[in-house]
Every structure is written in C-alpha cells, then in structure tokens.
Chains A and B, each alone.
Chain A
Amino acid sequence: MATILQYLVYGLQLGSVYALLALGYTMVYGIVGMINTAHGDFLMIGALGTFFIAKLFENFHVDGTYPMLIVGLIILIAMVITGGIAVGVEAIAYRPLRNKPRMIALITAVGVSMFLENFPRALPFIGPNPRPFPTLFINRTFRVLGASITSTQVIMIVLAALTMVALDRFVAKTKIGGQMRAVSMDKDAANLMGINVNKVISITFFIGGALAAVSGICYASAYPQVEVYMGSWLGNMSFVAAVLGGIGDIRGAMLGGFILGIAQIFATAINSTFGYAVGFIILIIILLVKPAGIMGKLTIEKV
C-alpha cells in the first residue's frame, strides 16, 4: 500500500511536468491549430534561463537557497523571458505560415527546435555540459502513510493543478479568454468582430512560453540538471499527453499529462525491462477506446 502510494507520488511528479508543458502545447494547438514541436525547447530555455538568472542573484544566496521573494522574482523573470522568446518565435517563424497547411508549420517548428537547441550549445559560455540546477524550493521530506513525499513534489503537483484551474478560469471568464475562444473557433470571423487576432495569438504564445518556463523550473527542481537538449523529448511526451487528453482541451491536457506520468511509472514498477514499451502500449489502447482522447469530443463531420 505504502509502495503504491509512493509510486503514485512519483507518477504525479512526472505527470505534473508533462501536464504543465502539455497545457501550453494544447493552448497553442487550440488557438492556432499547429503542433509546436519547439514547445519542449521553451522548457529548456526556461530552466537554463533560470540557472543564469539565479546566478545574477547570487548575492542573495543564503543557506543553499534564496529568500522566497527572490525566488518569486527569478521565476517571474524566467517566465517573462521565455514567454517573450515564444512570442518572438511566433512572430518571426509561425505567423507568416498561419494560413498554410499545418504540416508546413510543423516542419518549421522542427527547424526552430533545432535552432533553439543548437544555438545555445554553440555559444561558448553555455555549451553542452549539464549544469546543476540551483535549489529554489526548500526541500523537506514528509512521511505520509509510509510513503516519503518531498516538498518539491508537493509544490509541483499543486502548482500544476492551480495553473490548470487558473488557466481554465482565465479562458472561460476573462475578456481576453473569450477572445481566445473566439479565435480558436474561427480566426476570420473573430477578426471581423474586431478582435486583434495577432495580439490574441501573441498572448497565447506568451502564456504557453511562460508555462513552459514554469514546467522547466519544476522539472529542473525535481531532476536538478539543466542542459540544452533536455526539452526535446519532454516536448514530445507532452504532445503525447495533450493528444491523449484530447488536444485543444485544457483539462484534457492536464489529465493526459498525469495519466501518462502515472502509466509510465507503474509500467516501470511492474517490469522495468518492458516499462518503456508498456507505457506506449497503454497509450495506444486508450486512444483506440477513446479515438479523440479522453476529454476530446469526436467531431463527426456533417455530411
């Protein structure tokens, strides 16, 4: 029982990274309809950026960590920078392709991803070496029903859940959220209704990038190592999570992320030799049962 709870915690920990990243993925998909394969690299930029920003604040370093306020500031700066880069990438590389077939944007995103990974790698002061991630959250271990849970895990899981709720409310209640929904349904109509589509899409990318930065910080806090290639596979997995939950759906992304994380952990727990493959088999089975993802509605084309 304690073991199962422990595994569940691990699953939620991994799942919350997937979920946070998948939220940005799914938002961008929902509004622009493109698969932004470079999204995982925004995570890397967020984590790597945090590493360097934290270095700037080294003077405030106490007891191996930073005061709460400084941590908040570091995270905020990282979110703004990553969000800004995401907006820049959209404006330069994706905007001109908005009305082109979506595969074109996908391939462009592959190129962008390659650039975002290799550019910092080629810079001498960044390079390919992994770096230890600074401790931002105080790490305490609690014992609950025999399972050990760290404060970082709690922060990650709670943060992921809160972000999901906030995002969900934001899209449902605010004016800009309403505009987002309008753009996601019909860009041209939204434009005719006086909505600045470019602005809405920029905001979406900013939020997506900022969320990626948060997930990067979470990931790097749980697995404290940052390097330039850390985001690529995580990006793929979060795409998987977003699709699993029903791509375009915010709650679905969250659910997909947690299910994927938990499935991988439990598959590994049952048999670590086949764990990797089993995780993917579960995925296929879920999709065969729910062809539009867990929360997605199967859109039947009207004849």
Chain B
Amino acid sequence: MKKALALILMLVMVLSLAACGSSAAPAASSSSGTAAAAPETIKIGFVFPMSGTGAMAGRYSTHGADVLKEELGGVITVNGVDHPVEFIYADNEGSEEKTTNVYQKLIEEEGVIAIVGPDASKCALAAGPIAQNAGCPNVATFATNTAVTEVGNYIFRACFIDPFQGAVAAAYCEEQGYKTACIMFNNADAYSVGLKDAFIESFDGEVLGIEEYSGSDVKDYNVQLTKLAAQNPEVLLLPNLNVELGLQIQQARTAGLTCPIVCGDSADTPDVAKVAGAASDGVAYVSAFSAESTAPAAKAFVDAYVALYPDELPNSNAELTYEATKMVVWAIQNAATLDRDGVRDAIESIDGLELPSGSMTMVAETRNPSKGAVIMQYDAEGVTHYVATVNP
C-alpha cells in the first residue's frame, strides 16, 4: 500500500512535470519573418494581479491592453507579413513569489517576445532578474520604485518614478502657495513610503505632522486624521493606494481636515471618487495623463476604451498598460524583428512616440520614460479636471 502510494506519487510528479514540459513551446525564434507557410504568432506576456487585493488594478490593466488588441485587429505587420498577435494574461496574485513563477512560465514556456507589467514595484524587483537573465524585454507599468529598472538593460517602465512624482506633488503644492503640509502614509507599502520620502525631500514648506498606518486591511484612519487635523495644515498629502484613498478622503473631511488634499497617481481611478463621494471635491492628484486631454492619442484611447467597456472609464493602470504595450508593439514594428534583443534595442530608442499621455522619449541610461506629469482634480461629482502640466 505504502509502496504503491509512493510510486504513484513519484509517477504523478514526474509525469505532470514532463507532460507540461513537453508542451513547452520553443523560445521566440529569431526568424525575421521569411515567407513561411503560416506566419509565426507574436506572443506578448502580461503579468498582473487578477486575484487578491490588487485584483482591481489587474482588471483595469487587462482592459487597457484589450484596447490595444482591438486597435491592432489581432495582427502586427512585420516586414510586410501579418503576424497574429496573442496577449497572454497571467495572474501573479500580487505576490513576488508567484510573479517569478509567471515570468518563468511566460518566458520559457510561452516564449513571449516581451513582458508587460507587473504593476507593483515589489513584484517587478523580484522578477526583474529573471527577464534580465533570459534577455526578455520587460516594460513595467506602474512600478515607480527607482530600483526597478536598475536591475538591468532589459527592464523598462512606462510610468514615471517616485522621486519625480514626489517632486511634482511638492512643486504643485509650492505653486499653490501651501506653506505647511501633513502626510498620512502606509508604512507597509513601498509605493507609499517612496512617495512620502520624495515629497518631503523636495517640499520647501514645513511638514507639520506625519502619521502612519500599516496595510490596507482595516480601513480606519480616524485617529491619524484627527491628529493631523489638530495641526491645521494647508495641504494634506495622501500618497496611498487606490483601494484606501476613497475612504481616507472621506474620513479626512469628517475628521475636520478642510484643507486641500493631494494624492499620488494611484488616485487616478474612477473608483476613488465613487467611494469618496462628495468629499472628493477638489482633491488634486498627480497623473500620467488626462482623460480630458484634447490630444488625438488621448481622445482616441479614451473613446476606444469606453467603446469596449461602456461601464467604466480608464484609470492609470489601464492607461499605463496601454502605453507599455504600445511601446512593445511599436518596437516590434519598427525594429521589424521578432528577436527579443532587437525589440529591446528598439524600446530603448523610442523617441517622441505619441502616447495618450503625450510625446514620450525613453531615456536610454535609466530606461525610464521622459514624460511629463499632469495635475488633475476631482470635482464633487467625481469628474476629473485638468489643472496643470509639469514637465521633467
């Protein structure tokens, strides 16, 4: 009995491994689109949390990618050959461990030409070395931590970095004439900590009080906000995650903080304003793009998005995923190659690509995009309004 059990187990293990293994496709070949019988499918991998507390971000992200897929009509033309394109969405549950698994799967098994995502810096930091070692270009969407692209020359990002965003927020506050600020941040979250540090470093005024909370599990911020209200600051910075912001804005108003509120780019999610309700009136945030923008690329994106998903408006996740994917597709088209290295070089060479957020140029040394930020503001109905553009 025990022997049988042990044997069966061994068998199951080895078979399951071998079975899955044998189905592995060869890595992206370097054929340059010679007139073969059937054109090779171009696979692009996407890594997002589709379950777990970050699942909302993943949902917007996949929707953003879907817009580009529609736009491409399912094909990318390389050297005059129409290659079918396949987007492979992989769930990383917002965990670093799963992200590394998913990267390996996409690179080794699916043979993707490039990976778009993930949205969290921690996941990008954990899995970045895998893409780097495999020589697979990787464009992170929302990973704003400076260290993400320092992993190596295959790692790019579509968003701006924490120090820039913090500086933008600080500059905006100074411009508005705010002399004193208070901050409440999530000490369990790297994004929040990074943004807070960057803001403090560039803000010329005085930071009157800093309060912390740990994690987004229990959404009671009353004490921290009451303490900050006692400081009577001219502005409140909430550099926090979108699942927390709605309630924070609401509770800040209830706690008697009447000053203007400034948030990071994660506030660019319609759900924040929906949850905050009327309290969202006047909340300003740093954003990569403005849905109001009259630029054709922006308008086209928003229209295409709404056409595909009539119930919602795009948020930053959707938009950045769209841009990151666009960068990859542009690189494939312009490098006219299905070779990962060629794609990497092409991404690095992006100069003046028209994206919804404006014209984007890749800084080759840091592999961060050089792009401006806009300051947006919610009104009482939760509609966003353009306030200002800040360029690096």
Binding site for B on A (CB under 8 A): 3, 6-7, 10, 13-14, 118, 121, 127-132, 141, 148, 150, 223-225, 227-229, 232-234, 237, 264-265, 268-269, 272-273, 275-276
B246 within 8 A of A: yes
Residues of the A chain whose Cβ atoms lie less than 8 Å from the Cβ of B223: 7, 10, 265, 268-269, 272
Residue in A14, A131, A150, A268 whose Cβ sees the most chain B Cβ within 10 Å: A268
Whether the Cβ atoms of B212 and A132 lie closer than 8 Å is: no
Whether the Cβ atoms of B275 and A132 lie closer than 8 Å is: yes
B192-232 CB contacts (< 8 Å) to partner A: 211-215, 217-220, 222-224, 226-227, 230
State in angstroms the CA–CA spacing of A148 and B250 once bound together.
15
Extra A-B contacts (7), CB below 8 Å, given A223-B251, A234-B217, A272-B227: A130-B246, A223-B220, A228-B55, A265-B223, A268-B213, A273-B187, A275-B213
Whether the Cβ atoms of B56 and A130 lie closer than 8 Å is: yes
Of all chain A residues, the one with the shortest Cβ separation from B212 is A272
Of all chain B residues, the one with the shortest Cβ separation from A228 is B55
Write the nearest CB–CB distance from A233 to chain B, whole angstroms.
4
B299 within 8 A of A: no
Binding site for A on B (CB under 8 A): 51-53, 55-56, 58-59, 187, 211-215, 217-220, 222-224, 226-227, 230, 243, 246-247, 250-251, 254, 256, 271, 274-275, 277
Whether the Cβ atoms of A224 and B217 lie closer than 8 Å is: no
State in angstroms the CA–CA spacing of A237 and B219 once bound together.
13
Given contacts A7-B223, A233-B218, A269-B223, contact A129 B246 (CB under 8 A): no
Residues of the A chain whose Cβ atoms lie less than 8 Å from the Cβ of B230: 3
Whether the Cβ atoms of A225 and B277 lie closer than 8 Å is: no
Residues of the B chain whose Cβ atoms lie less than 8 Å from the Cβ of A227: 56, 243
Chain B residues touching A, majority SS:
helix
Residue in A7, A148, A225, A229 whose Cβ sees the most chain B Cβ within 10 Å: A225
Write the nearest CB–CB distance from A219 to chain B, whole angstroms.
9
Residues of the B chain whose Cβ atoms lie less than 8 Å from the Cβ of A232: 217
Residues of the B chain whose Cβ atoms lie less than 8 Å from the Cβ of A229: 52-53, 55
Q: How many A-B residue pairs have CB under 8 A?
A: 91
- Choice from B55, B217, B224, B256 contacting A121 with Cβ under 8 Å: B55
Residues of the A chain whose Cβ atoms lie less than 8 Å from the Cβ of B222: 10, 13, 265
Residue in A130, A148, A269 whose Cβ sees the most chain B Cβ within 10 Å: A130
State in angstroms the CA–CA spacing of A265 and B275 once bound together.
23
- Choice from A224, A269, A276 contacting B275 with Cβ under 8 Å: A224
Residue in B220, B243, B247, B277 whose Cβ sees the most chain A Cβ within 10 Å: B220
Whether the Cβ atoms of B217 and A132 lie closer than 8 Å is: no
- Choice from B213, B219, B275 contacting A272 with Cβ under 8 Å: B213
State in angstroms the CA–CA spacing of A118 and B230 once bound together.
41
Whether the Cβ atoms of A273 and B218 lie closer than 8 Å is: no
Of all chain B residues, the one with the shortest Cβ separation from A128 is B55
Whether the Cβ atoms of A132 and B218 lie closer than 8 Å is: no
State in angstroms the CA–CA spacing of A3 and B223 once bound together.
10
Residues of the A chain whose Cβ atoms lie less than 8 Å from the Cβ of B243: 130, 225, 227
Residues of the B chain whose Cβ atoms lie less than 8 Å from the Cβ of A10: 220, 222-223, 226
Write the nearest CB–CB distance from B362 to chain A, whole angstroms.
32
- Choice from B226, B251, B256, B274 contacting A3 with Cβ under 8 Å: B226
Residues of the B chain whose Cβ atoms lie less than 8 Å from the Cβ of A127: 55-56, 59
Whether the Cβ atoms of B254 and A234 lie closer than 8 Å is: no
Whether the Cβ atoms of B212 and A225 lie closer than 8 Å is: no
Whether the Cβ atoms of B59 and A224 lie closer than 8 Å is: no
Write the nearest CB–CB distance from A15 to chain B, whole angstroms.
10
State in angstroms the CA–CA spacing of A196 and B365 once bound together.
74
Whether the Cβ atoms of B219 and A225 lie closer than 8 Å is: yes
- Choice from B53, B214, B226 contacting A275 with Cβ under 8 Å: B214
State in angstroms the CA–CA spacing of A129 and B271 once bound together.
7
State in angstroms the CA–CA spacing of A128 and B57 once bound together.
9
